[in-house]
Amino acid sequence: MELEPLRDLIVTALEDLKGENIQVMDVRGRCSFTDLMVFASGTSDRHVKSLAGNVEDKVRTAGVRPLGVEGNDQSQANWVLVDLGEIVIHVMLPETREYYQLEKLWAMGGEHARSA
């Protein structure tokens, strides 16, 4: 699947379950392991898991197999990462997202994240 349609599918999957503060960041030229990063917040650990699970379900239905999923198997998930290769999705609780500030880290020296 092409990058832009896959990005749009991911954003829609997050929006469908009321993901908050969805940001898409192009990290090409600054990152060797992916082209885009998608960030979203959930309101609870259960919501974080549901958001990541919906992304997994939608991309699998579209024929894309995740390379890995981290954090979804924990009883309390404050951060779930879904790795699709070209796109890495970070779904976090707002306080976890604020603590790590990954968008700021990846934005240093490049373009800033844009809202989806």
Secondary structure (H, E, C), the chain:
CCHHHHHHHHHHHHHHCCCEEEEEEECECCECCCCEEEEEECCCHHHHHHHHHHHHHHHHHCCCCCCEEECCCCCCCCEEEEECCCEEEEEECHHHHHHHCHHHHHHCCCCCCEEC
Residue 116: inside a domain, yes or no?
no
Residue 82: inside a domain, yes or no?
yes
Q: How many domains, the chain?
A: 1
pTM over 0.75: yes
Mean local confidence (pLDDT), 37-61: 97
Residue 18: inside a domain, yes or no?
yes
Q: What is the pLDDT of residue 112?
A: 46
Residue 102: inside a domain, yes or no?
yes
User: Which CATH number belongs to the domain containing residue 77 in this structure?
Assistant: 3.30.460.10
Domain that holds residue 64: 3-109
Residue 95: inside a domain, yes or no?
yes
- Above pLDDT 90, what percent of the chain? 80
Residue 114: inside a domain, yes or no?
no
Task: State yes or no: pLDDT of 68 exceeds 60.
Answer: yes
